[in-house]
Amino acid sequence: MTELRVSVDVTVPAEQAWAALADWPSQGTWMVATRVRGTASAVGEKLEGWTGIGPLGFLDTMTVTEWDPPRSCVVLHTGHVVRGTGGFEVAARGEDRCRVTWWERVDLPFGVLGKIGWLAIGPTTRLFFKVSLGRLKRVLETG
């Protein structure tokens, strides 16, 4: 299992950051090349995300396995391409600041070939997370 974790400090209250994260359909405004369908606010609820550009991409099906607003959400990825767990964490840093963390623990397919492929795709995925969280920061801080 491979883990990826990226954080950003944001100058808004934790509850405001949580509201943006938990608004699943609006994640496409800050998450690079991703659209999410569905709403989930409890354990057991399901979501679908499309990551890609136009018809080139993959469907990411998810089930919420932990829900602790305004602190954390964990999903189980159940799709054909992405399998494993992922989530968001929001840690208050005072009244008007917080740290948002996006993490994923993915099961790499294809054994050794998947591990080799991660050497190429891992840095790109980390960049995708950083750019996305940078966009989230701008959206939150500029309204």
Contact 76/85 with Cβ under 8 angstroms?
A: yes
Any idea of the CA torsion for 26, 80, 121, 54, to the nearest 10 degrees? -50
What is the share, in percent, of the chain residues with pLDDT greater than 90?
Answer: 85
Average pLDDT taken over every residue of the chain? 95
Tokens of 104: 């994923």
Q: Which domain holds residue 84?
A: 2-142
Does residue 110 have a pLDDT over 90? no
The mean pLDDT value for 98-123 works out to 90
- Sign of the CA dihedral running 9, 11, 14, 17: negative
Q: What is the domain count for the chain? A: 1
pLDDT of amino acid 142: 96
pLDDT of residue 81: 85
Q: For residues 108-131, give the mean pLDDT.
A: 90
CA distance 95 to 126: 29
CATH, residue 99:
3.30.530.20
Q: What is the pLDDT of residue 141?
A: 98
- Calpha distance 134→103 (Å, rounded): 15
